[in-house]
């Protein structure tokens, strides 16, 4: 009797293993080759992992344990952090009132949180700006105070291409962004391009550009040459440049007409927004606070203050936008700035200061301590080529996202086929069947996410392609054909 049971168990185990091997062979033989045998990718490095959560098995692994530059697939772990640690609504600002007698009405302390939505054109409602305007303009409070908490925010990430600093996708990171740290620059209509006399810089200034902000309009139009044709041409032939370390903008003659530009400005840590708020809301930032060894006790740096320290027992939050509204935009259009600031906001939430390197190290030791392979994680957006992840790492993170947050929430944040950066791909069905994050750098194409097969299976996948020398569109189409075949077969 016992021997019969053992024999039966052996037969069942054998059939199971045979079926598993058959599945692996089937995927390898009929779908893997669609991508791996593409002659245009013969010299590229390719990693593929396809995982079935229902059976907790990989249907396919081709170099799934090898490291690849993931480009914007790096936004997947960043998105996980935002979903887990930023709450339902972003904390746009913290403010505090000093406890000392005679100082409660003398100033309001402001503590930035890294929120990238402040006056960003994506968001019409601006609770933080309304708070600042009501507090300082309407109620005529005394001077505001910035709290400097020692946050270590480098304006560009480790491994970024600094010579792209004038490109819209290279907006500087900082503790208190405004307008997304990018200027949307347009030409002033002909007839309104007036010349304004000024003692500085000892010549008339041509008002040629507008940004929607008087403060930045003045910066942009400072020291422009007053060429007559620039006053009268609808689209004058010129280009706009900015010096790397400050907000000195210059014009150059160009073969192409100027029709508009999106250009980052120099943040000067909090210096630019400080000046912007002083100019826009008439807020004098006369004081600065610095940390001391005691948590609620702060050093007051001010020439006109009677005391050198103040006590702030509680910092009150001003919430700005729903968190998922930020994360959805980040994932749909692969917004680098939103991703970097999401990493900084997570650092602020967990470490009480903004430091991208420390928060990455912290997360790798906690939430991501069980990743199949420890990644080299350099930034929040994927702009850095120092980022190195394996396909199995992304499968693990995506599976973790599903377990902790559920697919319904993921589907509202990740773009489906035919949407966002996938607008031209996977749009051949009435019902979306793929939710994923794209990634693109020179020589790099990545795609990781979830796919639903025609038989009803939900699979987690990651496809990373490095060092290709064909067009990114060709690689994406090849990956698309591969994944569509997966959908058909399973």
Q: What is the pLDDT of residues 46-93, one digit of tens each?
A: 999 999 999 999 999 999 999 999 999 999 999 999 999 999 999 999
Q: 220: which 2 tokens?
A: 């942009």
Mean pLDDT of 180-200: 85
Give the pLDDT confidence score for residue 459 in this predicted structure: 98
Asked if the model's pLDDT at residue 139 lies above 90, the reply is no
pLDDT, one tens digit per residue, over 201-215 is: 455 678 999 999 999
Asked if the model's pLDDT at residue 43 lies above 50, the reply is yes
The C-alpha atoms of residue 202 and residue 186 are separated, in whole angstroms, by 25
pLDDT, one tens digit per residue, over 372-417 is: 999 999 999 999 999 999 999 999 999 999 999 999 999 999 999 9
Q: Which of 34-48, 192-206, 331-345 has the lowest mean pLDDT?
A: 192-206
Mean pLDDT of 350-363: 96
Identify which has the larger pLDDT, 34 or 374. 374
Closest CA to 465 of 391, 370, 405, 394: 391
- Count other C-beta atoms under 10 Å from residue 306's C-beta: 10
Give the pLDDT confidence score for residue 203 in this predicted structure: 59
Indicate the class that CATH gives domain 30-84+322-489.
alpha beta
Question: What pTM, to 2 d.p., does this model score?
Answer: 0.91
Contact 415, 421 (CB under 8 A): yes
Asked if the model's pLDDT at residue 369 lies above 50, the reply is yes
- Enumerate the domain spans of the chain: 30-84+322-489, 178-266
Closest CA to 175 of 38, 343, 21, 393: 343
């Amino acid at each position: 009797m016992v021997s019969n049971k053992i024999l039966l168990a052996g037969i069942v185990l054998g059939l199971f293993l045979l079926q598993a091997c058959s599945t692996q062979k089937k995927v390898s033989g009929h779908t893997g080759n669609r991508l791996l045998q593409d002659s245009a990718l013969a010299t590229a490095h390719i990693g593929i992992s396809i995982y079935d959560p229902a059976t907790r098995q990989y249907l396919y692994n081709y170099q799934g344990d090898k490291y690849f530059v993931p480009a914007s697939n790096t936004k997947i772990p960043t998105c996980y952090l935002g979903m887990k640690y930023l709450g339902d609504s972003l904390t746009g600002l913290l403010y505090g009132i000093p406890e000392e007698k005679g100082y409660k009405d003398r100033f309001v302390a402001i503590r930035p949180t890294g929120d990238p939505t402040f006056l960003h054109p994506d968001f019409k409602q601006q609770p933080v700006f309304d708070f600042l305007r009501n507090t300082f303009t309407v109620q005529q409070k005394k001077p505001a105070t910035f709290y400097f908490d020692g946050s270590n925010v480098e304006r560009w990430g480790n491994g970024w291409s600094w010579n792209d600093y004038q490109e819209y996708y290279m907006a500087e990171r900082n503790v208190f962004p405004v307008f997304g740290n990018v200027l949307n620059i347009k030409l002033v209509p002909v007839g309104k391009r007036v010349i304004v006399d000024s003692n500085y810089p000892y010549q008339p200034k041509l008002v040629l550009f507008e940004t929607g902000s008087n403060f930045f309009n003045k910066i942009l139009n400072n020291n422009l040459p007053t060429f007559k044709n620039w006053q009268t041409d609808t689209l004058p032939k010129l280009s706009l440049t900015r010096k790397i370390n400050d907000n000195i903008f210059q014009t150059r003659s160009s073969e192409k007409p100027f029709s508009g530009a999106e250009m980052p400005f120099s943040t000067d840590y909090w210096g630019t927004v400080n000046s912007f708020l002083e100019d826009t809301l008439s807020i004098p930032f006369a004081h600065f606070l610095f940390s001391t060894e005691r948590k609620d006790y702060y050093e007051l740096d001010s020439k006109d203050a009677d005391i050198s320290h103040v006590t702030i027992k509680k910092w009150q939050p001003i919430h700005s936008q729903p968190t998922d509204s930020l994360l959805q935009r980040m994932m749909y259009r692969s917004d680098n700035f939103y991703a970097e600031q999401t990493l900084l906001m997570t650092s602020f939430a967990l470490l009480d200061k903004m430091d991208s390197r420390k928060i990455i190290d912290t997360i790798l030791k906690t939430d991501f301590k069980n990743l199949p392979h420890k990644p080299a994680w350099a930034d929040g957006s994927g702009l850095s080529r120092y980022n190195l992840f394996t396909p199995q790492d992304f499968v693990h993170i995506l599976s973790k996202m599903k377990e902790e947050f559920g697919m319904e929430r993921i589907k509202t944040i990740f773009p489906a086929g035919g949407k966002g950066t996938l607008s031209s791909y996977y749009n051949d069905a009435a019902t979306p069947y793929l939710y994923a994050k794209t990634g693109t750098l020179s020589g790099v194409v990545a795609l990781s996410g979830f796919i639903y097969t025609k038989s009803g299976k939900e699979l987690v996948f990651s496809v990373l392609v490095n060092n290709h020398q064909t067009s990114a569109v060709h690689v994406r189409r090849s990956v698309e054909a591969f994944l569509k075949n997966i959908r058909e077969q399973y």
